[in-house]
Amino acid sequence: MHKHIEWDTPGGESVDSHYAKDPQHRVEPHPGMILTAQYKGATARIKVEAYVDGVSIGKVAALIDDMGERHDSHAGLDVGDMVRLPDDKRAFQSPRQDD
């Protein structure tokens, strides 16, 4: 069973927007890949188990706050949760915030 997640809009870190300009380098996710998404201000890393119709399915492998600290959970999302990540929500990792 997948946990329903409302991913943050990736904005300037959007993988889709980046590869729209250069589609020849776009790679379809495959099992074992680690993807990134933003969730309520944190970075979530997802280890892909399957890819179906523009959606990656996998487990949360890491949750990282904007200072680079790793956490076991964040706003109801836990490391190990099975989630679905649509291509349009994939993101490059945001730059770390300094004090």
Mean pLDDT within 11-16: 89
Is 94's pLDDT higher than 80? no
The region, left, alpha or beta by phi > 0 then psi within -120 to 50, assigned to residue 78 is: beta
Q: What is the pLDDT of residue 81?
A: 98
Q: What is the pLDDT of residue 98?
A: 54
User: If residue 18 lies in a helix (H) or strand (E), which one and from where to where?
Assistant: helix 15-20
* pLDDT tens string 25-66: 888 999 999 999 999 999 999 999 999 999 999 999 999 998
Is 96's pLDDT higher than 90? no
What tokens were used for 99?
A: 């004090």
pTM of the predicted structure, to 2 decimals: 0.90
**Which residues are paired to 71 by β-bridges?**
63
